[in-house]
């Protein structure tokens, strides 16, 4: 009886093209969405503000879908091993940094979606598909989720900045090839 071989890392040195595409698409959406989120909260109540909130929700739900896809993909195609040049501290911190990113990439859109539900405002993905409400209308829950979403946004900004700083450290100071593993056209 032949079985399916166990999943293998993409290569010893680089992520596979699908993982790279999912990473960079998520990164672009998150950076755009964070910028949009920071800008939109200061807009006066208007049709423009409602439109910008819709775009923010579209991006958030897309990030949620991409993150779930990334998690599935990581199980199907485990990432390459960490480079041997990493320090013991880097080896301990890398999984925690990635776990924090994934947790926030799930928590941010879920709190946003739940917050919209609690406000009684539907989430309509790309203006076409109305997502189900996660909770009923609840003003107290809406306020709590608003605060939670705000705090999580600041945590996500901090973790993204730390992630980018770590990549720069590895590429510029250590020159250990960590960035090259995720570059779209690098092998």
Give the model's pLDDT for residue 10: 39
Confidence of residue 139 (pLDDT cuts 50, 70, 90): very high
137-159 burial by CB neighbour count: b if 16+ within 10 A, else e? eeeebbeebeebbeebbeebbeb
The CATH architecture to which 17-174 belongs is: Up-down Bundle (1.20)
User: Residue 23 corresponds to which tokens in the numbers above?
Assistant: 């990473």
Summary mean pLDDT of the chain: 91
Domain ranges of the chain: 17-174
Query: What distances in angstroms separate CA 18 from CA 10, 75, 139, 141, 161, one per listed residue?
Result: 10, 13, 41, 38, 24
Give the model's pLDDT for residue 11: 40
Give the model's pLDDT for residue 39: 94
Q: What percentage of the chain has pLDDT greater than the value 70?
A: 93
Contact 104/159 with Cβ under 8 angstroms?
Answer: yes
Residues in the chain: 187
- pTM greater than the 0.85 cutoff: yes
**Stretch 7-35: mean pLDDT:** 83
């Amino acid at each position: 009886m032949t079985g399916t071989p166990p999943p293998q890392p993409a290569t010893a040195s680089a992520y596979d093209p699908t993982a790279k595409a999912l990473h960079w698409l998520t990164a672009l959406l998150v950076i755009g969405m964070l910028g949009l989120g920071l800008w939109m909260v200061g807009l006066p109540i208007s049709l423009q503000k409602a439109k910008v909130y819709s775009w923010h929700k579209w991006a958030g739900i897309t990030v949620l879908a991409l993150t779930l896809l990334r998690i599935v993909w990581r199980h199907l195609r485990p990432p390459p091993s960490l480079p041997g040049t990493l320090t013991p501290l880097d080896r301990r911190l890398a999984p925690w940094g990635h776990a924090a990113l994934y947790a926030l990439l799930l928590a941010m859109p879920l709190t946003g979606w739940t917050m919209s539900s609690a406000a009684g405002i539907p989430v309509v993905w790309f203006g076409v598909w109305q997502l189900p409400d996660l909770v009923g209308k609840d003003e107290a829950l809406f306020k709590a989720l608003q605060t939670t979403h705000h705090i999580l946004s600041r945590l996500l900004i901090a973790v993204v900045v730390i992630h980018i700083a770590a990549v720069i450290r590895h590429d510029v100071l250590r020159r250990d090839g960590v960035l090259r593993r995720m570059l779209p056209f690098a092998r």
